[in-house]
């Protein structure tokens, strides 16, 4: 083989290897909790169906409980079907989030705050970047989330973070790093889910405590989907656009027209708290992203 052909063969092989690395960096989940997650807290309080397709977490006076993904990810979309704690769940917190587990922690959080029977559930979202949070938003859900499973999603890419409920966007956080706004874009994160006692703050600022006579408190999890870039130590593969890393494509850089309408509807009729409107908390010096476009 001539040196020219050898060079061509080397280049083709290198391109193939790079494409292969990108393709294996993404995962479409198995749908089996036993395969994709491990129990990180109180195995006796975690119950999984025989086929691995459903799981529940229990909170009682003895302990809360939780599970986490086997893999770490950098960008992607996570969908989780959840049925929240029914009845008087005041003081309980179900957290479903991404976390980097580093000293300068990044997090993308869903927190479902228990309620007194008959009151609407509150969903709190929060974003940590480099160990700093204080970016809470709260909405009331427009349905009873304890009667059936609903899908709670996180889309995280180079351009935006979108929190969704049944595909309806309830919160956006754009990448304005070029304007000095922190954005989680370098640290891989794992998926974590936990049910715990948050009655010092969760319901009406801690005024409503857990009624342990109603225990055990149980949250249930059904179908889920993980379509994300598995962390292999090199962010380049996760930051690149490909058919595998579809979430980095141009159509996911902002909301489409229909999504924008839904987003405005949520904020107009269901918003409870927005840190970007809390002038007292920030002493009239709101975080920089509050004055920048959301989409």
- Catalytic residue ranges: 107, 111
Q: With H, G, I as helix, E, B as strand and everything else as coil, classify residue 178.
A: helix
Residue 125 · residue 272 · CB < 8 Å = no
> How far is residue 79 from each of residues 82, 165, 213, 238, 272, measured CA to CA in Å?
10, 9, 33, 19, 24
User: For residue 104, what are the CA distances in angstroms to 86, 162, 186, 222?
Assistant: 35, 22, 11, 32
CA 168 from centroid of its chain's CA atoms: 14
Which residues does 234 contact at the CB level (< 8 Å), separation at least 6?
Answer: none
Report helix, strand or coil for 104. coil
Beta strands in 186-242 (DSSP E): 190-197, 217-230
SS3 274: strand
């Amino acid at each position: 083989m001539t040196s020219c052909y050898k060079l061509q063969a080397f280049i083709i092989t290198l391109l193939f290897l790079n494409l292969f690395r990108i393709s294996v960096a993404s995962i479409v989940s198995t749908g089996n909790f036993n395969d994709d997650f491990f129990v990180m807290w109180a195995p006796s309080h975690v119950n999984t169906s025989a086929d691995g397709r459903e799981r529940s977490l229990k909170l009682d006076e003895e302990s809360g409980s939780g599970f986490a993904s086997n893999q770490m990810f950098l960008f992607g979309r996570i969908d989780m079907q959840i049925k929240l704690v029914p009845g008087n769940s005041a003081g309980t917190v179900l957290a479903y989030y991404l976390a980097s587990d580093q000293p300068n922690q990044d997090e993308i959080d869903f927190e479902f705050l228990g309620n007194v029977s008959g009151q609407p559930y509150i969903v709190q979202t929060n974003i940590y970047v480099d160990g700093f949070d204080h970016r809470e938003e709260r909405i009331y859900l427009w349905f009873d989330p304890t009667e059936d499973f609903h899908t709670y999603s996180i889309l995280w890419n180079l351009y935006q973070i979108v929190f969704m409920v049944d595909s309806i966007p309830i919160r956006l956080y754009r990448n304005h790093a070029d304007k000095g706004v922190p954005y989680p874009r370098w640290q891989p994160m794992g998926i974590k889910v936990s049910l715990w006692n948050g009655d010092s703050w969760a319901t009406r600022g801690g005024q409503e405590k857990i009624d342990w006579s109603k225990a055990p408190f149980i949250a249930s999890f059904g179908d889920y989907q993980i379509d994300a870039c598995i962390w292999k130590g090199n962010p380049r593969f996760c930051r690149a656009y490909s058919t595998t890393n579809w979430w980095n494509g141009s159509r996911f850089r902002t909301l489409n027209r229909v999504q924008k309408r839904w987003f405005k509807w949520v904020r107009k009729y269901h918003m409870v708290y927005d840190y970007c409107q809390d002038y007292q908390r920030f002493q009239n010096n709101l975080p920089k992203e509050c004055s920048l476009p959301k989409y």
